[in-house]
Amino acid sequence: MTQHDKISAYIDNELSHEAEQDFLISLASNDGVRKAFRSELVMKSVIHQDELATLPNRDLRGAILATIGVGTASAVAGEASASTIAAAKPAVTGLKALFATKFNALITAGIVTVSAVGGYVTNTVVHSGSNAPVTAPAVQTAAPAPMNTTTPITIRTPATTEPAAAIEAHTKKSAAPSKAPLTKPTTNAVTGTTSMPGAVTVVPEYNKKK
Amino acid sequence: MKFGKRARTSGGAVEVAAHVERVLSGDDSEPVNQPITLDRETQLFHNFLAGDDAAYRALYDAFERPLFVYCCRLMPGEDEAKDVFQDIWVKMYKMRGETSIEVRRFSGLLFTIARNYCLNAIRDSKVLNYTSFDDAGEDNDAFIRSRDIETADLRELLQKALAQLPMQQRESFVLREYVGYSYDEIADIMGTNTANVRARAHRARERLRKVIGAWLELKEKAN
């Protein structure tokens, strides 16, 4: 066995205990063996570097798996969309779920109607036998609309409010200058009081003749 | 199709030893058939054959790097290595449809297929003018004397020196040093005996060591 073979055998851990001792002694004493052994260690290091640097890129991996049909990109996309859907599910309200389809909407409307009628009948039956005073129905307050609703808000004006046209006419009428001629005050010859024509004279009760 | 000679060989040796022991002890009863314990990769491969795609991806992840290194160091160029690498994995996937597959060791099967694909690709590309399948033409003194050794960095030098090795030496060396297989496993893959593989790997290592030693001497003189 040459010295080179001994180096390889030592690297592969194939030497016996005695042969290994002899090799280590020759390594310490022989310059040529020491250089060869150093080259072996450097080669091991370079092989390790070369192994780490030789990598298939991700495109190659994707191409192979896509060719086969196992597919990484589509699977990842599918997983991503599934997770997105799963994350979005809690945001769906129960109301949306109830009215998700027309069929669900019909069922929900029916249930609400039946429960309302049932409640009314029950209330009538319970209170018909007693002389309890009729109380005003409870005021039902509508739930506030959500902030992100897209339903346009209609501003209702009260029915008692004058129409805008009437207000405008009234404003014009009051603002227009009077074209009637100015009337002069008339003097009562008997009492000597002066009053405007057409003015109502209020006579106090105590001055009225009985 | 049968693979995993080593497992069968070692299993046979164990059976022979057990038979000898039974004969010596006077026990004439027939041995009970023990189920064969498969390694993890082989079990994954059986799962893949049964229709589990996730098992295939797990095998791909486990053997991607060593197989790619093997292809790159055996093939003359990286593009050819990528083509062969892709063909090997497609071939492995198509094995699902094949019947009567008996696999005792997945890694042996994979690298045996890889070896055949690499050798076929090298033959087809006619790049054998600088490689040889036998051990002839081992003298690489010309390479050591060339200017490559002065200019190349150590990793590039190693790759060039590897490319100068005969095919069987290179393959033994790559499977031993890069992939990390034992000589028995390499002998299974290459279809030869362990002594041949050990001798080829030692020769390849000695020649590469000379090249690196020459490079180190040049660097020492330069400094």
Distances (CA, A) of A73 to A68, A196, B146: 13, 100, 47
Q: In the predicted model, is pLDDT for residue B43 greater than 80?
A: yes
> What are the angstrom distances between the C-alpha of A84 and each of A81, A88, A96, B37?
5, 6, 18, 42
- Give the DSSP letter string of B174-201: IIIIII---HHHHHHHHTS-HHHHHHHH
CB contact under 8 A, B216 and A50: no
Instruction: Tell me the two tokens of residue B14.
Output: 């164990």
Give me the residue from B72, B202, B206 closest to A54, CB to CB.
B72
pLDDT (tens digit, 9 = 90+) per residue, B138-158? Answer: 455 555 555 555 556 888 888
Binning pLDDT at 50, 70 and 90, where does residue B130 land? very low
pLDDT tens-digit map of B166-218: 999 999 999 999 999 999 999 989 989 999 999 999 899 989 988 898 888 88
Which of chain B's residues have a Cβ under 8 Å away from the Cβ of A40? 205, 209
Residue partners of B6: CB distance under 8 A and separation at least 6 = B105, B108, B184, B185, B187, B188
Q: Shortest CB distance from A5 goes to which of B65, B68, B202?
A: B202
Element (H, E) at B67: helix B53-74
The pLDDT of residue A201 is 55
Instruction: Find all residues with CB under 8 Å of A33, minimum gap 6, and list them.
Output: A3, A6, A7, A26, A27
Asked if A43 is an interface residue toward chain B (Cβ–Cβ < 8 A), one would say: yes
SS3 labels along B118-169: HHHHHHHHCCCCCCCCCCCCCCCHHHHHCCHHHHCCHHHHHHHHHHCCCHHH
**Which whole number is the average pLDDT over B78-106?**
86
Residues of chain B with Cβ-Cβ distance to A38 below 8 Å are: 213, 216
Are B106 and B39 in contact by the 8 Å Cβ rule? The answer is: yes
**Smallest CA–CA separation between B141 and chain A, in Å?**
16
CB contact under 8 A, A46 and B212: yes
Would you call A73 an interface residue with chain B, using a CB distance cutoff of 8 Å?
A: no
Best mean pLDDT range from A39-53, A76-90, A121-135, B137-151: A39-53
Mean pLDDT of all residues in A63-89: 55
**Residue keyed to tokens 């094995």:** B95
Q: How far is B68 from chain A (nearest CA, A)?
A: 7
Please indicate whether, in this complex, the C-beta atoms of A70 and B64 are within 8 angstroms of each other.
Answer: no
Question: Which residues does chain A have within 8 Å of residue B205's beta carbon, measured at their own beta carbons?
Answer: 8, 11, 40, 43
Q: Are B15 and B31 in contact (CB under 8 A)?
A: yes
**What percentage of chain A exceeds 90 in pLDDT?**
10
Name the amino acid, one letter, at A120: Y
CB atoms within 10 A of CB A73: 10
- CB-CB under 8 Å, B60 with A40: no
**CB neighbourhood size of B188 (10 A):** 27
pLDDT at A69: 79
Pick B93's closest partner by Cβ from A38, A44, A68: A68
Distance in Å, alpha carbon of A82 to nearest chain B alpha carbon: 18
Cα(A78)–Cα(A76) distance, rounded to whole angstroms? 5
Cβ atoms of residues A27 and A34 within 8 Å: yes
Indicate the DSSP class of residue A180.
S
Cβ distance B109 to B3 under 8 Å?
yes
> What one-letter code names the amino acid at A60?
L
Q: Which residue of A has its CA nearest to B176?
A: A12
pLDDT, residue A28, reads: 92
The dihedral through the CA atoms of B182, B185, B191, B195 has a sign that is positive
Q: Which among B179, B181, B198 is positioned nearest to B74, based on CA atoms?
A: B179
Dihedrals phi, psi of B205, to nearest 5 degrees: -65, -40
Query: Which of A1, A2, A47 is the best mutation test for B, with the most CBs of B within 10 A?
Result: A47
| Residue A41 sits at the chain B interface (C-beta within 8 Å) | no
Q: Which residue reads 């790619």 in tokens?
A: B68
Among B65, B178, B209, select the one facing A36 at the smallest CB separation: B209
Q: What is the mean pLDDT of chain B?
A: 78
For residue A47, which residues of chain B lie inside 8 Å, CB to CB?
A: 158, 177-178
Interface predicted TM-score (ipTM): 0.73
CA distance B71 to chain A (A): 10
Partner residue opposite A46 with nearest CB, options B82, B154, B205: B154
B contacts of A64 (beta carbons < 8 Å): 60, 85-86, 89-90
- Mean per-residue pLDDT, A103-118: 72
Place of tokens 């014009």: A172
More confident call, B207 vs A163: B207
Which is more confidently placed, B164 or A107? Answer: B164
* H/E run at residue B7: helix B5-25
Q: Which two tokens stand for residue A46?
A: 């370079």
Note whether A56 contacts B: Cβ–Cβ < 8 A.
Answer: yes
Task: Using alpha carbons, select from B84, B87, B3 the residue that is nearest to residue B45.
Answer: B3
More confident residue, A106 or B1: A106
Question: CB-CB: which of A7, A11, A70 is closest to B57?
Answer: A70
From B75's Cα to the closest Cα of chain A, the distance in A is 13
Residues 101-160 of A with CB under 8 A from B: none
- Put simply, the answer to whether B72 touches A47 (Cβ < 8 Å) is no
Q: Which residues, other chains included, contact B108 with Cβ-Cβ below 8 Å and sequence gap of 6+?
A: B3, B4, B5, B6, B7, B185, B188, B189
CA distance B136 to B131: 10
pLDDT value at A12 more than 60: yes
DSSP, collapsed to helix, strand or coil, labels residue A186 as strand
DSSP state of A100: S
